[in-house]
Amino acid sequence: MTSENNKLFMGLAIELAQTAFENNEVPVGAVVVQNRNSEILAAFSNQMRTTGSSLAHAEMLALQKSMEILKNERLVGCDMYVSLEPCPMCAQAISFARIDTLYYAADDQKSGGVSSGPKIFESTSCHHKPKVVSGMMQKESSDLLKQFFKLRR
The C-alpha torsion from 141 through 25 and 67 to 133, rounded to 10°, is: 20
68 part of the active site: no
Q: Does the CA dihedral 23-75-100-42 come out positive or negative?
A: negative
Residues comprising the chain, all counted: 153
Catalytic residue from among 59, 85, 122, 140 = 59
| Residues recognised as catalytic | 59
